[in-house]
């Protein structure tokens, strides 16, 4: 089931190739008035800063635990600043235990949620990670996806706009570690580790260009990034003026004239590929007779661009 789910993610990402990727930016605020930059990466809206909330979404306070013993002994949601230094809050955000993440009161602003494991995998796949790499657990995965996520101060190029910083973490005993070299992000996805429920995390290191996927006990203090519940709105690319796909609606035959590309893929609205073939002439004919009635997305790709058009089959 996991392989099917990740495959569908890849298909959906390829289906939405015309979405603006790194240029959409905005901001949101939480109940306390903290303002967060946001960025559209692929089909997702991400916070471009770490969460700073000291309240749950219903207004209840999240315990602020500075004492190491209290941190080690709690089984409820809690947060702190790295080294208990309030001066770090604005730049690096808060460190939260996983009990905060799994609390039903929620910690992200309305319309947003703590990123799931699948949210992270969707992000990593969009940045170029292979499906085989994305599935691996307790391992460094991919090639340069971490560099695309990390700020320059963290050894990356931040081409995604995600702006990950080397915030460090707090271990289950309450000890602060790895400021300047490490950053780990909780997901809201649980992991059954031989009967013990732990939280899945995705992490970055200053000396690694890839990303790690792992799971840890809830007592760790990691950062949180929130993802918008609604996806980035899809906008089809404007068809080139000298190319035509007709008729639309289509019957058994579809014609592609002067296509700016050589590879044609037709997908249904769930992202499943139903037909693929090479474009062989300036007036290419596509046999649609095996397709059921409905709406499809036709993508024609060349070396540098993809043209996507919505077609109804009757």
| Residue carrying the six token digits 């930059």 | 37
pLDDT at 17 over 50: no
pLDDT at 250 over 90: no
pLDDT at 13 over 60: no
Work out the average pLDDT over 121-132. 90
| Residue carrying the six token digits 């095996």 | 290
What pLDDT is stored for residue 304 in this prediction?
A: 56
CA atoms within 13 A on the CB side of 74: 24
What structural domains does the chain harbor? 2-228 (no CATH), 244-313 (2.60.40.3080)
What pLDDT is stored for residue 303 in this prediction?
A: 59
Average pLDDT over the chain reads 86
Best CA proximity match to 31, nearest among 131, 112, 126, 109: 109
Count, residues in the chain: 314
Work out the average pLDDT over 152-160. 95
Tokens of 153: 């101060």
pLDDT at 3 over 60: no
| Terminal alpha carbon distance of the chain | 32
Three-state DSSP at 259 gives: coil
Please return the burial class of 122, using the count of CB atoms within 10 Å of its CB with bins 0-12, 13-18 and 19+: buried
What pLDDT is stored for residue 236 in this prediction?
A: 42
Confidence of residue 157 (pLDDT cuts 50, 70, 90): very high
Confidence of residue 271 (pLDDT cuts 50, 70, 90): low
Angle between helices 2-15 and 117-126 (to 10 degrees): 50
Model confidence, pTM: 0.70
Q: What is the pLDDT of residues 54-93, one digit of tens each?
A: 999 999 999 999 999 999 999 999 999 999 999 999 999 9
pLDDT at 141 over 70: yes
Q: What is the pLDDT of residues 26-47, one digit of tens each?
A: 889 999 999 999 998 877 899 9
């Amino acid at each position: 089931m996991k392989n099917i789910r990740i495959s569908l993610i890849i298909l959906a990402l390829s289906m939405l190739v015309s979405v603006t990727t790194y240029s959409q930016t905005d901001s949101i605020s939480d109940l306390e008035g903290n303002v967060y930059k946001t960025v559209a990466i692929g089909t997702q809206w991400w916070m471009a800063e770490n969460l700073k909330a000291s309240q749950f979404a219903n207004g209840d306070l999240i315990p602020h635990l500075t004492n190491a013993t209290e941190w080690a002994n709690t089984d409820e949601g809690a947060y702190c600043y790295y080294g208990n230094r309030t001066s770090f809050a604005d730049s690096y955000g808060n460190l939260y235990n996983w009990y905060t993440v799994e609390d039903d009161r929620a910690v992200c602003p309305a319309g947003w949620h703590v990123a799931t494991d699948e949210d992270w995998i969707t992000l990593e796949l969009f940045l170029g990670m292979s499906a085989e790499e994305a599935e691996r657990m307790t391992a460094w995965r991919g090639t340069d996806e971490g560099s695309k996520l990390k700020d320059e101060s963290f050894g990356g190029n931040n081409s995604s706009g995600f702006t990950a910083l080397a915030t460090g973490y707090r271990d289950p005993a309450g000890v602060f570690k790895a400021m300047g070299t490490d950053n780990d992000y909780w997901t809201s996805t649980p992991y059954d580790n031989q009967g013990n429920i732990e939280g899945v995390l995705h992490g970055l290191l200053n000396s690694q260009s890839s990303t790690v996927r792992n799971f840890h006990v809830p007592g760790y203090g990691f950062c949180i990034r929130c993802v918008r519940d609604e996806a980035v709105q899809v906008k089809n690319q404007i068809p080139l003026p000298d190319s035509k796909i007709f008729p639309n609606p289509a019957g058994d035959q579809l014609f592609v004239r002067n296509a700016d590309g050589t590879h044609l893929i037709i997908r249904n609205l769930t992202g499943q590929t139903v037909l693929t073939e090479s474009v062989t002439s300036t007036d290419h004919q596509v046999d649609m007779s095996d397709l059921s009635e409905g709406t499809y997305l036709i993508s024609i790709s060349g070396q540098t661009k993809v043209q996507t058009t919505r077609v109804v089959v009757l």
